[in-house]
Amino acid sequence: PLRSDLAGLRVAVSTGGTREPIDPVRFLGNRSSGRQGAALAVSAAERGAAVTLVAAHVDDGVLDDALSHPGVALVRVSSAADLHAAMTDAAASADVVAMVAAVADFRVAEVSQGKLRKEDGVPELRLVPNPDILADLAASRGSGPARQTVVGFAAETASDDDELLERGRRKAARKGADLLVVNRVDWDRGFEAVENRVLILAADGTLVADAAGTKRAVADAVWDAVVASRP
């Protein structure tokens, strides 16, 4: 069905996995495919929003639909620091911000300007924490009647739904987002997969929706929750 319930809204979505450089040729990365964030961007554009999609590293072809949609403007980034800057920029004029990217929690303290060589011995990589971009965007937004809606995602390992909910509730409180989309991941679940199942929590931990299906179906459920949450 054709909905235009996001018409007139500007949304900023991040997706993909960041790469934290070690030296000119190496990085610390993660397995995020970028599919869920790309689906969120395309879904929002089809529902009438003007979308900025900030994409870190994604699997081949994942951005094809977003690239061919006139409602999506694509910004490419690599590290968490790049993503932070691009999302802060996009968020400044956004009604809704969704942090779907898998942001590295740590970066290498001293990036080597030259390639690390075996001959120099086993390197000791010292890591330092990256800022939490979601918490930062949630904390620094303006208030007022047209308050920005901030959506976070959380991939959690859990032995059952109760544990998943509990972890999600704690994270929702910690991040300060309006909605937290929690999905269960495992070695063979969540990442890189086409299907997904998520629990959508409100800031106070209330379960707003339980959605399953393709990443596109999950994206639609997230926008339904965003629409329902806005005054």
Beta bridge partners of 214: 195
Residue 215 labelled as part of a binding site: no
Catalytic residue among 30, 130, 183, 196: 30
Contacts 24+ apart (CB under 8 A), 45-48: 45/69, 45/70, 45/71, 45/72, 46/71, 47/3, 47/4, 47/5, 47/6, 47/7, 47/223, 48/3, 48/4, 48/5, 48/6, 48/7, 48/8, 48/9
Tell me if 9 sits within 8 A of 95, measured CB to CB.
Answer: yes
Q: Is residue 99 at the binding interface for ligand C5P, with CB under 6 A as the rule?
A: yes
Q: At its nearest, how many Å lie between ligand C5P and the CB of residue 99? A: 4
Q: Which stretch binds ligand C5P (CB under 6 A): 48-56, 69-77, 101-109, 196-204?
A: 101-109
Residue 161 labelled as part of a binding site: no
Can you say whether the dihedral through the CA atoms of 11, 17, 18, 24 is positive or negative? negative
183 is annotated as an active-site residue: no
Mask: binding to ligand C5P, 10-29, rule CB under 6 A, as x and -?
A: --------------------
Q: At its nearest, how many Å lie between ligand C5P and the CB of residue 26? A: 20
Angle at 185 between CA 181 and CA 131, to 5 degrees: 60
Among 59, 65, 105, 224, binds ligand C5P (CB under 6 A): 105
Q: What are phi and psi of 84, to 5 degrees?
A: -60, -50
* Cβ nearer to ligand C5P, comparing 133 with 164: 133
Q: At its nearest, how many Å lie between ligand C5P and the CB of residue 177? A: 7
Tokens of 202: 């409100």
Residue 175 labelled as part of a binding site: yes
Residues 170 and 155: their CA atoms lie apart, in Å, by 13
Which residues 115-154 are close enough to bind ligand C5P by CB under 6 A? 130, 132-134, 152-154
Q: What are phi and psi of 10, to 5 degrees?
A: -105, 130
Q: Which stretch binds ligand C5P (CB under 6 A): 57-65, 95-103, 116-124, 213-221?
A: 95-103
DSSP three-state, residue 166: helix
* Cβ nearer to ligand C5P, comparing 72 with 99: 99
DSSP three-state, residue 186: strand
Residue 134 labelled as part of a binding site: yes
Catalytic residues: 30
Write out the binding residues.
Answer: 105, 115, 131-134, 153, 171, 175
Binding residues for CTP, as ranges, are: 105, 115, 131-134, 153, 171, 175
Residues that bind ligand C5P (CB under 6 A): 80, 99, 101, 103, 105, 130, 132-134, 152-154
